[in-house]
Chains A and B, each alone.
Chain A
Amino acid sequence: AQSVSQHNHHVILSEAASLELGCNYSYGGTVNLFWYVQYPGQHLQLLLKYFSGDPLVKGIKGFEAEFIKSKFSFNLRKPSVQWSDTAEYFCAVNGGTGGFKTIFGAGTRLFVKA
Protein backbone atom coordinates (compact mmCIF):
# COMPACT_ATOMS: atom_id res chain seq x y z
CA ALA A 1 0.00 0.00 0.00
CA GLN A 2 1.04 3.55 -0.58
CA SER A 3 2.67 5.29 2.37
CA VAL A 4 4.09 8.76 2.90
CA SER A 5 7.05 9.53 5.10
CA GLN A 6 7.90 12.98 6.43
CA HIS A 7 11.35 12.91 7.92
CA ASN A 8 11.09 15.63 10.51
CA HIS A 9 8.30 15.82 13.06
CA HIS A 10 9.47 19.11 14.55
CA VAL A 11 11.63 21.84 13.04
CA ILE A 12 12.71 25.06 14.73
CA LEU A 13 14.24 27.84 12.64
CA SER A 14 15.09 31.48 13.05
CA GLU A 15 13.57 34.04 10.71
CA ALA A 16 15.37 34.32 7.36
CA ALA A 17 16.71 30.77 7.60
CA SER A 18 16.12 28.45 4.67
CA LEU A 19 13.65 25.61 4.97
CA GLU A 20 13.53 22.17 3.43
CA LEU A 21 10.99 19.59 4.59
CA GLY A 22 11.40 16.07 3.30
CA CYS A 23 8.62 13.91 1.89
CA ASN A 24 8.97 10.45 0.39
CA TYR A 25 6.30 8.08 -0.83
CA SER A 26 6.53 4.37 -1.32
CA TYR A 27 4.98 3.38 -4.66
CA GLY A 28 5.64 4.85 -8.06
CA GLY A 29 3.72 5.17 -11.25
CA THR A 30 1.66 8.24 -12.02
CA VAL A 31 1.11 10.16 -8.81
CA ASN A 32 -0.41 13.44 -7.68
CA LEU A 33 1.49 15.17 -4.90
CA PHE A 34 0.37 17.84 -2.47
CA TRP A 35 1.61 19.92 0.39
CA TYR A 36 -1.02 21.20 2.79
CA VAL A 37 -0.48 23.63 5.63
CA GLN A 38 -2.38 24.14 8.85
CA TYR A 39 -1.72 27.49 10.54
CA PRO A 40 -2.56 27.71 14.25
CA GLY A 41 -6.32 27.79 14.69
CA GLN A 42 -7.02 27.50 10.98
CA HIS A 43 -8.20 24.86 8.51
CA LEU A 44 -5.89 22.65 6.52
CA GLN A 45 -5.31 24.38 3.21
CA LEU A 46 -3.40 23.67 0.03
CA LEU A 47 0.10 25.10 -0.26
CA LEU A 48 0.97 23.62 -3.66
CA LYS A 49 0.46 20.54 -5.81
CA TYR A 50 2.03 18.60 -8.63
CA PHE A 51 0.17 16.39 -11.09
CA SER A 52 2.06 16.83 -14.36
CA GLY A 53 4.51 19.06 -16.20
CA ASP A 54 7.38 20.98 -14.65
CA PRO A 55 8.59 19.02 -11.60
CA LEU A 56 9.46 22.26 -9.82
CA VAL A 57 6.20 23.63 -8.48
CA LYS A 58 5.64 27.09 -7.07
CA GLY A 59 3.04 27.62 -4.38
CA ILE A 60 1.69 30.38 -2.22
CA LYS A 61 3.78 32.51 0.15
CA GLY A 62 7.08 31.79 -1.61
CA PHE A 63 7.03 28.02 -1.12
CA GLU A 64 8.14 25.60 -3.79
CA ALA A 65 8.54 21.85 -4.08
CA GLU A 66 10.46 19.59 -6.40
CA PHE A 67 9.18 16.25 -7.61
CA ILE A 68 12.03 13.79 -8.15
CA LYS A 69 10.46 10.64 -9.55
CA SER A 70 13.60 8.52 -9.25
CA LYS A 71 13.80 9.27 -5.54
CA PHE A 72 10.04 9.07 -4.84
CA SER A 73 10.42 12.47 -3.23
CA PHE A 74 8.54 15.77 -3.12
CA ASN A 75 10.48 18.04 -0.77
CA LEU A 76 9.14 21.43 0.25
CA ARG A 77 11.44 24.44 0.28
CA LYS A 78 11.43 28.12 1.11
CA PRO A 79 14.59 30.24 0.86
CA SER A 80 13.79 32.55 3.78
CA VAL A 81 11.15 31.74 6.38
CA GLN A 82 9.10 34.23 8.33
CA TRP A 83 7.54 34.04 11.77
CA SER A 84 4.14 33.73 10.04
CA ASP A 85 5.23 30.42 8.49
CA THR A 86 4.87 28.78 11.90
CA ALA A 87 2.43 25.95 11.14
CA GLU A 88 2.08 22.24 10.59
CA TYR A 89 2.90 20.99 7.09
CA PHE A 90 1.49 17.82 5.57
CA CYS A 91 2.65 16.00 2.48
CA ALA A 92 0.00 13.94 0.65
CA VAL A 93 -0.01 11.57 -2.31
CA ASN A 94 -2.56 9.82 -4.43
CA GLY A 95 -2.19 7.61 -7.46
CA GLY A 96 0.39 4.98 -8.18
CA THR A 97 -0.54 1.61 -6.76
CA GLY A 98 -2.41 3.40 -3.97
CA GLY A 99 -5.12 4.40 -6.39
CA PHE A 100 -6.90 7.71 -5.90
CA LYS A 101 -7.11 7.39 -2.14
CA THR A 102 -5.12 10.34 -0.78
CA ILE A 103 -2.54 9.29 1.78
CA PHE A 104 -1.16 11.89 4.18
CA GLY A 105 2.13 11.99 6.00
CA ALA A 106 2.26 12.46 9.76
CA GLY A 107 3.04 16.16 9.44
CA THR A 108 5.96 18.40 10.37
CA ARG A 109 5.50 21.12 12.95
CA LEU A 110 7.55 24.18 12.03
CA PHE A 111 8.25 26.87 14.61
CA VAL A 112 9.93 30.03 13.38
CA LYS A 113 11.57 32.20 16.03
CA ALA A 114 11.20 35.94 15.52
Chain B
Amino acid sequence: ETGVTQTPRHLVMGMTNKKSLKCEQHLGHNAMYWYKQSAKKPLELMFVYNFKEQTENNSVPSRFSPECPNSSHLFLHLHTLQPEDSALYLCASSQVGGENEQFFGPGTRLTVL
Protein backbone atom coordinates (compact mmCIF):
# COMPACT_ATOMS: atom_id res chain seq x y z
CA GLU B 1 0.00 0.00 0.00
CA THR B 2 1.19 3.49 -0.74
CA GLY B 3 0.12 6.92 0.42
CA VAL B 4 -2.45 7.30 3.16
CA THR B 5 -4.94 4.53 3.85
CA GLN B 6 -8.04 4.62 6.02
CA THR B 7 -10.24 1.86 7.38
CA PRO B 8 -13.08 1.27 7.40
CA ARG B 9 -14.27 3.15 4.33
CA HIS B 10 -17.87 3.14 5.55
CA LEU B 11 -19.22 2.86 9.08
CA VAL B 12 -22.74 2.88 10.43
CA MET B 13 -23.10 3.05 14.19
CA GLY B 14 -25.70 3.67 16.82
CA MET B 15 -25.40 6.45 19.34
CA THR B 16 -24.39 4.05 22.11
CA ASN B 17 -21.73 2.19 20.13
CA LYS B 18 -17.96 2.49 20.44
CA LYS B 19 -15.92 2.25 17.27
CA SER B 20 -12.52 3.32 15.99
CA LEU B 21 -11.25 4.75 12.73
CA LYS B 22 -7.77 3.86 11.60
CA CYS B 23 -5.32 5.77 9.44
CA GLU B 24 -1.91 4.67 8.23
CA GLN B 25 0.62 6.61 6.18
CA HIS B 26 3.42 5.05 4.18
CA LEU B 27 5.16 8.31 3.25
CA GLY B 28 7.64 8.74 6.10
CA HIS B 29 5.84 11.84 7.33
CA ASN B 30 5.98 13.13 10.89
CA ALA B 31 2.69 14.99 11.14
CA MET B 32 -0.82 13.52 10.97
CA TYR B 33 -4.24 15.13 10.98
CA TRP B 34 -7.92 14.34 11.37
CA TYR B 35 -10.47 16.42 9.48
CA LYS B 36 -14.25 16.35 9.36
CA GLN B 37 -15.90 17.02 5.99
CA SER B 38 -19.61 17.77 6.11
CA ALA B 39 -21.82 18.69 3.18
CA LYS B 40 -21.69 22.37 2.25
CA LYS B 41 -19.19 23.19 5.01
CA PRO B 42 -15.47 23.87 4.91
CA LEU B 43 -13.15 21.04 5.84
CA GLU B 44 -12.83 21.24 9.64
CA LEU B 45 -9.51 20.46 11.27
CA MET B 46 -10.03 18.30 14.35
CA PHE B 47 -6.64 17.17 15.62
CA VAL B 48 -2.97 17.53 14.70
CA TYR B 49 -0.12 15.30 15.81
CA ASN B 50 3.52 16.27 15.25
CA PHE B 51 6.09 13.59 16.06
CA LYS B 52 3.34 11.61 17.88
CA GLU B 53 2.49 14.55 20.15
CA GLN B 54 -0.90 16.22 19.91
CA THR B 55 -0.36 19.87 19.00
CA GLU B 56 -3.88 20.89 18.08
CA ASN B 57 -7.33 20.07 19.39
CA ASN B 58 -9.74 22.30 17.58
CA SER B 59 -12.38 22.36 20.33
CA VAL B 60 -13.51 18.85 19.44
CA PRO B 61 -16.08 17.21 21.76
CA SER B 62 -14.67 14.55 24.06
CA ARG B 63 -16.75 11.85 22.37
CA PHE B 64 -13.95 11.93 19.76
CA SER B 65 -10.68 10.63 21.18
CA PRO B 66 -7.56 10.51 19.02
CA GLU B 67 -4.57 8.24 19.49
CA CYS B 68 -1.22 8.34 17.74
CA PRO B 69 0.96 5.41 18.80
CA ASN B 70 3.67 6.20 16.26
CA SER B 71 4.31 8.55 13.34
CA SER B 72 2.70 6.16 10.85
CA HIS B 73 -0.58 5.38 12.60
CA LEU B 74 -3.45 7.51 13.79
CA PHE B 75 -6.72 6.42 15.33
CA LEU B 76 -9.96 8.19 16.10
CA HIS B 77 -11.95 6.49 18.84
CA LEU B 78 -15.66 7.22 18.77
CA HIS B 79 -18.21 6.80 21.56
CA THR B 80 -21.72 8.05 22.24
CA LEU B 81 -21.83 10.00 19.00
CA GLN B 82 -24.74 12.13 17.84
CA PRO B 83 -26.48 12.03 14.45
CA GLU B 84 -24.92 15.41 13.59
CA ASP B 85 -21.52 13.72 13.76
CA SER B 86 -22.36 11.90 10.53
CA ALA B 87 -19.78 13.06 7.98
CA LEU B 88 -16.71 12.06 6.00
CA TYR B 89 -13.67 11.81 8.26
CA LEU B 90 -10.41 12.43 6.47
CA CYS B 91 -6.93 11.62 7.63
CA ALA B 92 -3.91 13.42 6.23
CA SER B 93 -0.17 13.43 6.75
CA SER B 94 2.71 15.75 5.95
CA GLN B 95 6.20 16.69 6.98
CA VAL B 96 6.08 19.10 9.90
CA GLY B 97 6.13 22.69 8.65
CA GLY B 98 3.42 24.96 7.35
CA GLU B 99 4.79 25.12 3.83
CA ASN B 100 4.46 21.37 3.32
CA GLU B 101 1.48 19.95 1.51
CA GLN B 102 -0.78 17.45 3.15
CA PHE B 103 -1.52 14.05 1.64
CA PHE B 104 -5.05 12.84 2.22
CA GLY B 105 -6.59 9.43 2.62
CA PRO B 106 -9.87 8.40 1.00
CA GLY B 107 -11.87 9.04 4.14
CA THR B 108 -14.32 7.08 6.28
CA ARG B 109 -17.98 7.81 5.59
CA LEU B 110 -19.60 7.71 9.05
CA THR B 111 -23.33 7.51 9.63
CA VAL B 112 -24.67 7.78 13.17
CA LEU B 113 -28.19 6.48 13.63
Which residues of chain A (29-43) have a CB below 8 Å from chain B?
32, 34, 36, 43
How many angstroms between the C-alpha atoms of A95 and B40 in the bound complex? Answer: 25
Chain A residues with Cβ below 8 Å from B98 are 32, 51, 94-95, 100, 102
Q: Contact partner of A4 among B3, B42, B92, CB < 8 A?
A: B42
Known contacts: A101-B45, A101-B48, A101-B56. The answer to whether A106 contacts B101 by CB under 8 A is: no
Instruction: List the 8 closest pairs (A to B, CB-CB), nearest first.
Output: A51-B99, A104-B43, A100-B98, A44-B104, A46-B101, A94-B98, A106-B42, A32-B99
CB closest chain-A residue, reference B43:
A104
How many angstroms between the C-alpha atoms of A105 and B44 in the bound complex? Answer: 9
Known contacts: A4-B42, A90-B43, A102-B45. The answer to whether A44 contacts B90 by CB under 8 A is: yes
Known contacts: A101-B48, A102-B45, A104-B42. The answer to whether A43 contacts B101 by CB under 8 A is: no
Q: Does B102 contact A (CB under 8 A)?
A: yes
A residues near B, CB below 8 A?
A: 4, 9, 32, 34, 36, 43-46, 49, 51-52, 90, 92, 94-95, 100-107
Q: For residue A21, give the distance in angstroms from its CB to the closest CB of chain B.
A: 15
How many angstroms between the C-alpha atoms of A3 and B28 in the bound complex? Answer: 30
Chain B residues with Cβ below 8 Å from A9 are 40
Q: For residue A15, give the distance in angstroms from its CB to the closest CB of chain B.
A: 27
Q: Contact partner of A43 among B43, B58, B106, CB < 8 A?
A: B106
Which residues of chain B (55-113) have a CB below 8 Å from chain A?
56, 58, 90, 92, 97-99, 101-107
